Amino acid sequence: IEQHLSGVGRAVPAAADERRAWPALRLAFAIPDHPWVDSADGAAVRVAMTVGAAGDGAGRLVTVEEELDTGGDDAVAVRHAERSGTTHADLTVGADVASARPLGANRGIAFTGMYPLGQGFVLLPDELSQAVGTDINTSAVVKPFVISRDLTQQSRRARVIDFYPRSAEEARSEFSCLFQWVIDRVKPERDQNPVEERRRNWWLFTRPIPDLRSAIAPLARYIAVPRTAKWFSFQFVLPDTVPDTSVVAVASDDAFVLGVLSSQLHLRWALRTGGTLEDRPRYQHNQTFNPFPFPAATPDQQSRIRELAEQLDAHRKRQQAAHPALTLTGMYNVLEKLKAGEPLTAKDKTIHEQGLVAVLKSLHYELDRAVLGAYGWGELAPLLEIANGNARPESAGQGSRDAAIRALDAALLDRLVALNAERAAEEARGLVRWLRPEFQNPQAAPRQEAMAVEGETAAAALTPGPSPGGRGEKLPWPAALPEQVAAVARLLAESPVPLDADAIAARYTGRGPWKKRLPQLLDTLVALGRARHGPNGYTA
């Protein structure tokens, strides 16, 4: 069992081919998230506990339902709930979401943002004019910069100095004032950086990340979501916006994609497949976005989802523009109270009025219904009605709203896992439902045709895709070890099939004996739990 920083309690399973060679072993008992000590003033540490047993069979899964301060003895009373069944690698019972594999259809679309290697690159509004000085046409290098709090709370209206892909001489010649700002505030720190590449490229605020830049470059906008937040709120941002590493960028300007990602179907998937940081959910695109199967929607269904997603995005931005103190976190806190039928405080009522949260609720409900219909799962609508607070639990034979939500979760996750397996099987036969076919599979662009599934035209093109690890355009092999590790881990995460060292090496070009070091690097990823090694190669 490995406890990841992104969340408590995730077992690291071996590849399926490896497991078949081992004696049967099951998780007989598991607690995925429990306080380290049951004292109110104890360290805020969470642990996962597991017991393995030989043989097949059901296990016991114990979850913490409530933690209550008992009063005088500093103890915390922990109330547990128990379920039985096959316990999966993510320490859950039910749908085996850990078995979902990355899909080629989603490859190269979602990215973690860029980390500024020096805070001197970041400009707040009161610093902007001083930094720019007499430079002209600075919008080419002074760009909007968003961190997660800019998306969930009030925007800082920050900018970042991004000289990429200019050389130091070009940056100095075109933007001398900004260049001096960076010399004074960044270079002394970067000169001490232990990574030689960062010392050498001190005027560049981050590593290049060409995949992210090239994915966003042709778009009129793209989708951003905070990596860690109480509520995941997907929203459009302008194409010149630079996302921080606390933001996941989804390189699509299609409101259909925004609508599906904003639906309860994807949000329930994200809560189950992602991790946590402290007590907040964490959106991990490798585990959440890459395996997520989008619906094969008809043109009418696509249009309806696009219409609702555009309305949702515009509504939130319009209300925040009218009320600068209004935050998405506040709006969604009130929305959840409305769904649960809880009374609103005076502060809640102000947010409800300023954010028009009842309108927000209706938009989300209609979007959820539209996406559910696009998947062909309309029979789950009664449970969705209860989850959204629009019907009483007994209307669908449920004892409570929480019970209805659990039933909806179980049904959605089972179906999404099955659909992921179906799509993976299609891709193994060479058929890929690209989200952006003209970008992801440009060599097939002249012969792209709309995807047809049982007579219905779907959202993307269905075409043969390049084999993972194939010999298309090669990427430069990173110079620094951390970037090498990240590059190989990303390649494995995006590949729907196992890759051996030769297939990985074929994707890169570089000088020196870097290929000889690949096996050691792969062994390191395996030891860290970032990769698994089976008879057919390495997987994430």
What DSSP state is assigned to residue 532?
E
Three-state SS letters, 136-181: CCHHHCEEEEECHHHHHCCCCCCEEECCCCCCHHHHHHHCHHHHHH
Q: What are phi and psi of 390, to 5 degrees?
A: -100, 0
Sign of CA dihedral 315, 263, 104, 165: positive
- Which residue is it, tokens 């039928």? 341
Averaged over 199-223, what is the pLDDT? 94
Question: Model confidence over 123-181: pLDDT tens digits?
Answer: 999 999 999 999 999 999 999 999 999 999 999 999 999 999 999 999 999 999 999 99
The H or E element containing residue 533 is strand 532-534
Contact 460, 435 (CB under 8 A): yes
Sheet strands (E) in 42-141: 46-54, 59-69, 76-85, 110-112, 122-123
Chain-centre distance for alpha carbon 163: 27
Rounded-to-integer distance, Cα 186 and Cα 496, Å: 41
**Cα–chain center distance at 33:** 21
For the ranges 3-12, 269-278, 368-377, the maximum mean pLDDT occurs at 368-377
Burial class (CB in 10 A: 0-12, 13-18, 19+), 63: middle
The residues, any chain, with a CB within 8 Å of residue 134's CB and separated by 6 or more, are 177
Quick: pLDDT tens for 188-210.
Answer: 999 999 999 999 999 999 988 89
Residue the block writes with tokens 């009161």: 126
As a whole number, mean pLDDT of residues 351-377 equals 97
**C-alpha distances in Å from residue 259, one per residue of 233, 254, 262, 300:** 11, 9, 5, 14
Query: Which tokens is 294 given?
Result: 């989008």
Distances (CA, A) of 238 to 75, 251, 283, 306: 50, 11, 21, 18
Helix axes 346-355, 299-322, angle to 10 degrees: 120
Put residue 145 in one of left, alpha, beta given phi > 0 → left and psi -120 to 50 → alpha: beta
CATH architecture, range 475-539: Orthogonal Bundle (1.10)
Is residue 527 very low, low, confident or very high in pLDDT (cuts 50, 70, 90)? low
CA distance 294 to 460: 10
User: Cα dist. 260→39, 217, 256, 297, 443 in Å?
Assistant: 42, 23, 6, 11, 27
Question: What does the domain layout of the chain look like in residue ranges?
Answer: 2-94, 106-252, 253-466, 475-539
Ranked by mean pLDDT, the top range of 23-37, 198-212, 356-370 is: 356-370
Q: Which two tokens stand for residue 526?
A: 């395996």
* 432, containing H or E segment: strand 431-433
Mean pLDDT of the chain: 84
